Amino acid sequence: MAKKAWAAFPHPNKAFHYDGAKLAKAWPALHAGDQEPFPDEKRVALLLRKNAKLGKDAAAIADALQDAWRAFHRGDFEAAYEGGVALKALGASVAIKAGGIHAAYLVDATAAKTERYENLIRLADEAVAMLPDEANSHYRRAFAIGRLSQTISIGKALAQGLAGKVRDALDATLELAPKHAEAHTALGLYHAEIVAKVGAMLAKLTYGANAADAEKHLKQALKLTPESPIAWVEYGNALILLHGDKREDDAAEAFDEAAKLKPRDAMEALDAAWAKAQLE
């Protein structure tokens, strides 16, 4: 039986094609949010010295990894995922980001989302074991677990201790990369979601979560990456979680900021389109 193809990215744009040297030139802007180092031969060679089990040919691995990231940025998420998986822990970052963003926006069935995120967690666990000094080994684990928790019941998520796992992974990320904007956004959402789900008192006593820290981390992400749609989107989402109708206008302003930004790649196009849809 043939494998079912992933749903296609619905907003193709030649501006999202970073062929050849274009990728390195655009990299700082494309990865301001996740602080992913550019995977050139020198970078890959450094990682191979950290774990020789990951391969030998740094040049070939670097080329393959750059191609996987090119696929991600142009919206070919399935190719990016498969390219990343083929590179094991070295490709886990692109595989998890591609698989996760695709599932969040382009997979409808909850069961399919859950299965995808469970697979991504396994990839992340391998990356943490093999490359524990890499900030994104931990961040992608937090991302995958956080997304999984949104597809299952609150009771099940709490029983599995998913909140604590997300918090630990985000703390590890920010210890290694203090300016990791996406981790700040995720930690802000962690605080906001816990408060919204269990109430302010229990959130603080049991999970150390509170509204003030939510806004602090979300605003730090906006300061670090003001041109990132997802930073504005999640700020708006957090305002609704924490304050409901009282901050509805502020949340709408945040979504409007996200919708007005010019997307630099497929992920940002999806983020901005989601924000625009909230305003209609």
CA neighbor of 33 nearest in space, from 223, 238, 252: 223
pLDDT, residue 171, reads 96
151-175 pLDDT per residue, tens: 987 778 878 888 889 999 999 999 9
Task: Determine the residue type at 86.
Answer: A
**How far is it, in rounded angstroms, from Cα 121 to Cα 146?**
10
- 259-277 in b/e form (b: 16+ CB < 10 A) is bebebbbbbbbbbbbbbee
For 228, counting Cβ atoms within 10 Å of its Cβ (0-12 exposed, 13-18 middle, 19+ buried), the class is buried
Topology of the domain comprising 17-178: 1.25.40
The predicted model scores a pTM of 0.95
Structure-block tokens of residue 93 = 């970052």
Neighbour tally for 31: CB within 10 Å: 17
Q: Out of 68-72, 90-94, 141-145, 193-197, which region has the weakest mean confidence (pLDDT)?
A: 193-197
- 38-58 in b/e form (b: 16+ CB < 10 A) is bbbeebbeebbeebeebbeeb
76-88 pLDDT per residue, tens: 999 999 999 999 9
**How far is it, in rounded angstroms, from Cα 101 to Cα 106?**
8
Q: Helical H runs in the chain?
A: 22-30, 41-50, 58-74, 77-86, 92-106, 110-130, 135-149, 154-159, 162-176, 181-198, 200-202, 211-224, 229-243, 248-260, 266-278
**How far is it, in rounded angstroms, from Cα 128 to Cα 235?**
28
Residue 54 near residue 93, CB atoms below 8 Å = no
Residue 54 near residue 47, CB atoms below 8 Å = yes
**How far is it, in rounded angstroms, from Cα 30 to Cα 82?**
21
| Residues whose CB is less than 8 angstroms from the CB of residue 186 and which lie 6 or more positions away in sequence, other chains included | 139, 142, 143, 146, 166, 170
pLDDT band at 211; cut points 50, 70, 90: confident
**How far is it, in rounded angstroms, from Cα 22 to Cα 44?**
19
Domain made up of 204-280: CATH architecture: Alpha Horseshoe (1.25)
pLDDT, residue 3, reads 72
pLDDT band at 240; cut points 50, 70, 90: very high
Handedness of CA 54, 55, 59, 63 (dihedral sign): negative
pLDDT, residue 103, reads 98
pLDDT, residue 2, reads 56
pLDDT, residue 1, reads 47
- Same fold for the domain at 17-178 and the one at 204-280? yes
The ranges assigned to domains in the chain are: 17-178, 204-280
| Residues whose CB is less than 8 angstroms from the CB of residue 67 and which lie 6 or more positions away in sequence, other chains included | 83
